[in-house]
Copies of this chain bind each other. A is one copy, B any other.
Amino acid sequence: MGDIVRDSDFTLQLLPSPQIRKNPISGRWTLIATDRALRPLDEPDVPELCPFCEGHERETPPELLARREPGTLPNGPGWRVRVIPNRFPAVRIGADGAVRTDGLFEELGGIGSHEVIIDCPHHEVRFGALPVEAIREVIGVWRDRILAHHAQDGLKYVQIFKNKGIEAGASLGHNHSQLIALPLVPSAVLEEIDSGRSYFELKGRCLFCDLIDHERAAGARVVAENEHFVVVCAYAALWPFETWVLPKRHRSHFERSSDAELRGLASTLGDLLRRFDAGLKAPPYNLVLHTAPLRVEALPHYHWHLELLPRLTQPAGFEWGTGWHINPVPPEQAAAFLREVKVE
């Protein structure tokens, strides 16, 4: 967006606050967030200019949380993981959360928070290249930041995600995760919860637990499995090599995972990303966490999981027109390939 604002005669007027709007025809939601247009998209990816590298703490907003070496000071060197507010937020703490209607349309203030989790102090661009203990610490920070948002009135959901590569929407190469807390449960999560609820009402079992059993029995789409997790290429993958990481133990809330589970997740996810990097030449990807909404009780019909969405195809008119995707790689072939990739 930086580009369009710069190269054309269009001059963006910043809104005082982001807005959440719903299209009454398509039923789809959008965040109108002018601050996002200010985001630089074409900065060179070198440590000297990287605001996320250790020693450059002054170039970011003050930290909200950091895992630090004993004796080091906030906003200085000595950290291992560091959480900062996003300088170009999609939603904002203290935004006017009022609902405005004018008959056909309804608009909600974009209240929420948008944070960046800097995964490591050095200029590493591959999450899978971090030691398993470093990955575990990042995942632990995801958990802690979700837990911190449980206390905030008016927020319903925390979306954790990672963008890797320009094609996947990343504007900085240095490894980072993001968190966006929202005043509504987003559509994709609601749809999963609704599917889970319908299935549970019909069968009395968790759809995700049944899917895990089904995939383990079938085998063709299983990439890896260990004590705590099973990794499968999604049966109806929207993306080539789309892969899900599912905890074997039924649990609706990621943030209620045990320490042992988080250690298992770090090891599982690190191994999976190294398979992607080695087998598919470090592809661009989005990684998204789907978990239960904030402050609801444990749900028997929902089951948290991670979705790894490699960005090797470009959704185009067919995808945006139909809502369907075209995926040239059968998930069974993707899984067979990923199973065999050699990683250290």
Contacts and interface: CB of A to CB of B under 8 A. Distances in A.
Contacts of A25: 192, 195-196, 207-208, 211
Given A28-B238, A288-B317, A317-B288, A322 B188 contact: yes
A222 B279 CA distance: 49
Interface string A307-319: 1010011111110
A36 B280 contact: no
A240 B192 CA distance: 28
Contact of A236 (B13, B23, B207): B23
A320 B313 contact: no
Contact of A321 (B21, B188, B315): B188
Given A23-B236, A105-B235, A333-B13, A324 B195 contact: no
Contacts of A182: 322
A196 B24 CA distance: 9
Nearest to A215: B104
B1 A324 contact: no
Contacts of A132: none
Interface string A142-184: 0000000000000000010111001111100000001010100
A214 B34 CA distance: 25
A203 to B, nearest CB: 11
A267 interface: no
Interface residues of A, number: 99
Interface stretch (A2-10, A72-80, A123-131): A2-10
A330 B10 contact: no
B328 A188 contact: no
A257 to B, nearest CB: 18
B328 A33 contact: yes
A313 B1 contact: yes
A30 interface: yes
A10 B161 CA distance: 27
A12 B329 contact: yes
A237 B30 contact: yes
Contacts of A15: 330
Contact of A328 (B1, B207, B315): B1
Interface string A204-240: 0001101100100010000000000000001111101
Contacts of A33: 326-328
A258 interface: no
Interface in A94-110: 102-105
Nearest to A90: B326
Give the most central of A28, A168, A309, A320: most B CB within 10 Å. A320
Nearest to A237: B30
A9 B279 contact: yes
B104 A211 contact: yes
A256 interface: no
A66 interface: no
18 contacts: A1-B313, A1-B329, A4-B280, A10-B337, A12-B329, A13-B330, A23-B235, A26-B188, A27-B191, A29-B236, A31-B324, A104-B214, A161-B316, A186-B321, A186-B322, A187-B322, A286-B316, A286-B317
